[in-house]
Structure 1
């Protein structure tokens, strides 16, 4: 999709469709008022007939409106004017994209970015316009066979070019900067979605490593891949134990985006990369096991974030670490009762092989120490317990530093990719006691997401650390099944804020 910024009158802007907003109780937005005037009250008459009342998520398509250059006009319901917020703004954008997704309007001009939204600048509104439009228009059909010409034509429908209009000529420069930011974020989110949506026989650990290398070459950042023998020398017994039941070789991916000052301590992002999770010997139930291809969404989000910050040319030092492998059952697979020796030297009693994410992350967290980080954030589809606790709306956030946790919470609120701060008190640590090793890999049914975080915290004592449990937010099930690209927006906002703070 192509985007451009305009500063024009709605009646003069030539396109296949002009998009304008209508508040609840049929109150016209400024752009709608202008079009109503040039059309001799055409819009007012339509609304008086009761075909639209302006409720949120509603749309009405009009054709050949008098005095308007565009062939079509899409009215988008905005809800109550007094309640019109950033969230409602994004809903209106989504509704407009959906309404045009199967029609003949390929070139559209939207005046929704002119709407006043509390505390939002023109730059932010345009950035959200790009992000939300591309998110709503996203389709994953890379591996679908196009059976006939009608399918190809259907795929071509929808918006191909979007003109985003701003109110003042003085806002054009600011809007263009917002568009660049929005496109960069949308690019990273889309990349993360694509990786998650690929089947596990395609998106293997080797494939993830290749994607990281390709990304590094394109955006000029360093990428290093550690293989099994190197991991053995490093003493990553916990990570390697998870991988030993699979014929797919494990990969340990290290990416370095070094655009900050030379003496600036880096932020380290760690992404769980289990490209398929059967549960191992502690085998999962068969129902919905296909969705365990999404167990690498932590890795996907780190790769997506690197794509975004590279396109932004973000002035910050960021390290990405991705331990990636499969968790499979065979004669060599780790058994319940086995005791592993992690890179840190701590021994781990494996009570459940399906609690494997923490076993690969703990070695990655130990490896992160060598970068002397300012902060480490790990991202993982770690526990079903987090889905029970928070559902599919909020990511679970755990941290050993309240200031870091607050940074991430604020970034989540600002990016509409919210997280919720969960407790990780010392009271929970004894649940991980083992009779035969330094620590057990599970703490029982109670507080499962918390004890998982407590496990990771044992390996993150030498730096400020946060853990994002994205088991409930990384993908959707059912009719809309697919990756969400979360928490790329949260991570990007967090890193942009860090970069801005370093300039002061």
Structure 2
């Protein structure tokens, strides 16, 4: 594994420069545009006699090397992800054929902006090897030796590869943390992984591990952590990361990630076989850790980035928190627990409060506060495989949701806007005297109307961000990203959903 966390060496090459004698052993192409004339001639003839040539991956011999044509499936409703998918299929087929040094030939006149970038990222995604397989079987740590990339726009290829490297390195970390099993990526192990992944000094790291400190300063997180803290290898961690730019910052990104390393549901235990896959409940924090790697490599001159990874295991046992408890958050909000399986909002709320406190106390410029979480089944039902973008009124008035979705569409990380409304705040309002908020109802989110908007309202109130709404003297932009549907499911690697959108919107 390289210092940039890439699956193999990446090299820019020129197709026409003595390629017949190079180490390249296969060609992978996804579109006629940009295809060298000799390859194009073969493909054109093949299309005339093979009606399936444009509908499935084809392999043929060319110049004594394997050539692979992975066609695009484009229509009026397609988007840039078709290039990602085609490249991923093409490289996977090259690997299956035994290629160790494939050449990816990029399209020269693509239909979508960033199609070339998506082609490279799709190829790299096919090369990812899960962290536990890399560690247990080191001789299988790399699937190929080198990915060679050729593009007719030779003067732009170097910059394209550098951008792809910075994004893929982040996605690589997101896949490692998000996809690692509950023991390999337990809270202490995530902290150790992050510390080893960021050694340049560009990103400062502080790991909170004092269980009593959690009770005092992060009481909602501590409640979720209570059943796990008696097992040292499962004890919670809050990992603070920060990038300070060399120039005065024009914006401040403040990101809080749900890092539930395993979700049993707690006392409201997940029954009926639905606990499988709950090691992926940390993909929000994983995406943020990956984003911080992209920040480290990009080194933005005037963007300040602060991140909190809330790593906790929602265990079940005699110490677990239970429904009907009343717990006061860091912000002073009194919360009645309704369902212990709504632990993600609990794990993040106090760290979000810390972000709010810093934004106000330090007078940080142009703050964008985010929570990123695999939070609700309702988001999956409502939006399918897309990220839900839920702005508070300050962010909505600034047009953030539209900008975020546009950035995601451009780079192949699409989202859809949901809106938090007055009734969402009414839903969480506790009816009991001396209580402010009901954490959750007793029905699954997928069977609760507005089941993915309601948690956004909870996070706003529980963190005290409701005191910084659009009509306040210090308004703060806040957006909740529910990636439950977009983060990927076992056994496929995590997608790193929201990393590309955040990077496109704020870094590039």
Q: TM-score, normalised by structure 1?
A: 0.85
Q: Which stretches in structure 2 are left out of the alignment for 5+ residues?
A: 1-7, 469-475
Counterpart among 266, 286, 299 of residue 313 in structure 1: 299
Per the alignment, do residues 156 and 198 of structure 1 end up closer, same or farther by CA in structure 2, a change over 3 Å counting?
closer
Cα distance between partner residues in 2 of 1:82 and 1:424: 31
Q: Tell which deviates more after alignment, 45-54 or 435-444.
A: 45-54
Counterpart check, 1:469 vs 2:482: yes
Q: CA deviation at 1:320?
A: 0.4
- The answer to whether the Cα contact below 8 Å between 2:29 and 2:87 also exists between their aligned partners in 1 is no
What does residue 416 of structure 1 align with? 412
Cα distance between partner residues in 1 of 2:167 and 2:245: 18
String of CA shifts for 1:3-53, please: whole Å, max 9, x gaps.
22233438845421223456xxxxx5553543466xxxx555544432753
What does residue 379 of structure 1 align with? 372
Counterpart check, 1:370 vs 2:357: yes
Q: Tell which deviates more after alignment, 99-108 or 271-280.
A: 99-108
Task: Give the match's secondary structure for 1:344.
Answer: coil
What does residue 290 of structure 1 align with? 276
What does residue 88 of structure 1 align with? 82
Counterpart check, 1:399 vs 2:406: no
Task: Give the match's secondary structure for 2:507.
Answer: helix
Counterpart mapping for 1:20-31 below 5 A: 20-21=29-30, 29=33, 31=35
Cα distance between partner residues in 2 of 1:273 and 1:359: 11
What does residue 431 of structure 1 align with? 427
Counterpart check, 1:166 vs 2:163: no
Per the alignment, do residues 356 and 4 of structure 1 end up closer, same or farther by CA in structure 2, a change over 3 Å counting?
same
Counterpart mapping for 1:36-75 below 5 A: 44-50=44-50, 52-55=52-55, 58-63=56-61, 65=62, 68=63, 70-75=64-69
Q: CA deviation at 1:84?
A: 8.4
- The answer to whether the Cα contact below 8 Å between 1:114 and 1:165 also exists between their aligned partners in 2 is no
- The answer to whether the Cα contact below 8 Å between 2:342 and 2:440 also exists between their aligned partners in 1 is yes
Counterpart mapping for 1:268-287 below 5 A: 268-287=254-273
Q: CA deviation at 1:225?
A: 1.9
String of CA shifts for 1:93-137, please: whole Å, max 9, x gaps.
1221121121222122232x13311353xxx45432331111122
Task: Give the match's secondary structure for 1:267.
Answer: strand
String of CA shifts for 1:255-299, please: whole Å, max 9, x gaps.
111125345452101101111111111111151413111111111
Which structure would you say has the larger Rg? Answer: 1
Task: Give the match's secondary structure for 2:282.
Answer: helix
Per the alignment, do residues 289 and 185 of structure 1 end up closer, same or farther by CA in structure 2, a change over 3 Å counting?
same
String of CA shifts for 1:30-83, please: whole Å, max 9, x gaps.
53543466xxxx55554443275323xx222222x4xx3x52222332356999
- The answer to whether the Cα contact below 8 Å between 1:302 and 1:320 also exists between their aligned partners in 2 is yes
- The answer to whether the Cα contact below 8 Å between 1:280 and 1:329 also exists between their aligned partners in 2 is yes
Per the alignment, do residues 184 and 296 of structure 1 end up closer, same or farther by CA in structure 2, a change over 3 Å counting?
same
- The answer to whether the Cα contact below 8 Å between 1:245 and 1:332 also exists between their aligned partners in 2 is yes
- The answer to whether the Cα contact below 8 Å between 2:131 and 2:180 also exists between their aligned partners in 1 is no
Task: Give the match's secondary structure for 1:129.
Answer: helix
What does residue 9 of structure 2 align with? 2
Cα distance between partner residues in 1 of 2:458 and 2:58: 53
Number of equivalenced pairs? 466
What does residue 175 of structure 1 align with? 157
- The answer to whether the Cα contact below 8 Å between 1:84 and 1:117 also exists between their aligned partners in 2 is no
- The answer to whether the Cα contact below 8 Å between 1:104 and 1:158 also exists between their aligned partners in 2 is no
What does residue 34 of structure 1 align with? 38
Cα distance between partner residues in 1 of 2:52 and 2:146: 27
String of CA shifts for 1:426-484, please: whole Å, max 9, x gaps.
1221111213311000146222111111111212233210000111111224xx44422
- The answer to whether the Cα contact below 8 Å between 1:126 and 1:179 also exists between their aligned partners in 2 is no
What does residue 502 of structure 1 align with? none
Cα distance between partner residues in 2 of 1:494 and 1:161: 30
Q: TM-score, normalised by structure 2?
A: 0.84
Task: Give the match's secondary structure for 1:448.
Answer: coil
Q: Which stretches in structure 1 are left out of the alignment for 5+ residues?
A: 23-27, 498-504
Q: CA deviation at 1:409?
A: 1.4
Counterpart mapping for 1:240-279 below 5 A: 240-246=222-228, 247=230, 248-259=234-245, 261-262=247-248, 264-279=250-265
